[in-house]
């Protein structure tokens, strides 16, 4: 069986974690990093390229995995799809315009892509359970907690969780507004009636609580990723699964048979 060759887009902490996971996985090998801000050379013995097209042409991977930012992801996505290379994308904060383009482009070219807000299996199950519970409660709030270096707020997972809850419920949640707000924004952000509170502190990795309230009762669903290695089983699953896809798949739940 031919080893799956994987290019990792991004040389940050998540990119290096993906490279290590791919290197340790039987039947996979990291072919290169591509990072528009990095110096060309090598990192941990893996070649590093700055230009997306040049890197892909030299490495000739089976799959590209991207954990970067919303400005760079469209660049690597365009270069990969033009070459018929499937994509696994874990970058959050992607625009609706880009997602619409990605859906149309993958379908037109018959090339697969997987975009997921969170690759931790426990997080996917948390989101699934939250959608189930959403049908039975009128009030819900989300507290998401991440390290202080996270770029976007709220997290892609929190946003996707709230959107899934509202869709499962079929209407917005009840969002109590304070009569007096002594500090602006104290009730957090709001999406479909779900209040979302973002915590950013050193020492955290990725954590989320979904709290449902009803008459005389509370239901709390909590997920904790204590290390970035928690995302790797989902990333490796997506790498294998995307090869058999000919369209855009949004959410790891679809690969797990939960949607």
DSSP string, 233-245: HHHHHHHHHHTT-
Alpha-carbon span 143 to 196, nearest angstrom: 6
Between vectors from CA 126 to CA 167 and to CA 21, what angle results, nearest 5°? 120
Q: Are 214 and 141 in contact (CB under 8 A)?
A: no
C-alpha closest to that of 193 among 219, 223, 216, 170: 170
Q: Report the catalytic residues.
A: 146, 150
Virtual torsion, Cα 59, 73, 157, 255, nearest 10 deg:
-40
Helix (H, G, I), strand (E, B) or coil at 10: coil
Q: Are 198 and 154 in contact (CB under 8 A)?
A: yes
Q: What does the block give as tokens for 220?
A: 């709390």
Q: What does the block give as tokens for 133?
A: 């519970």
Q: Are 67 and 15 in contact (CB under 8 A)?
A: yes
Alpha-carbon span 208 to 224, nearest angstrom: 7
Sign of CA dihedral 243, 248, 249, 251: positive
Q: Are 248 and 107 in contact (CB under 8 A)?
A: yes
């Amino acid at each position: 069986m031919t080893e799956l060759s994987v290019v990792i887009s991004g040389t940050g902490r998540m990119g290096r974690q993906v490279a290590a996971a791919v290197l340790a996985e039987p039947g996979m090998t990291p072919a290169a990093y591509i990072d528009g801000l990095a110096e060309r050379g090598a990192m941990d013995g893996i070649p590093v390229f700055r230009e997306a097209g040049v890197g892909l042409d030299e490495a000739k991977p089976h799959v590209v995995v991207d954990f970067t930012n919303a400005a760079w992801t469209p660049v690597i996505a365009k270069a990969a799809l033009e070459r018929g290379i499937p994509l696994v994308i874990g970058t959050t904060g992607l625009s609706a315009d880009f997602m619409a383009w990605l859906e149309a482009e993958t379908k037109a070219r018959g090339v697969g892509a997987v975009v997921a807000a969170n690759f931790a299996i426990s997080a996917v199950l948390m989101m699934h359970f939250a959608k189930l519970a959403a049908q039975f409660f009128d009030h819900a709030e989300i507290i998401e907690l991440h390290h202080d270096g996270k770029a976007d707020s709220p997290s892609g997972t929190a946003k996707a969780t709230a959107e899934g809850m509202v869709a499962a419920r079929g209407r917005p949640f009840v969002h109590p507004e304070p009569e007096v707000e002594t500090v602006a924004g104290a009730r957090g952000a709001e999406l479909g009636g779900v209040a979302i509170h973002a915590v950013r502190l050193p020492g955290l990795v990725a954590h989320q609580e979904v709290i449902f309230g009803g008459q005389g009762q509370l239901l709390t669903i909590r997920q904790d990723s204590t290390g970035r290695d928690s995302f790797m089983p989902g990333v490796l699953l997506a790498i294998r699964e995307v090869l058999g896809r000919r369209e855009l798949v949004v959410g790891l739940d679809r690969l797990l048979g939960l949607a």
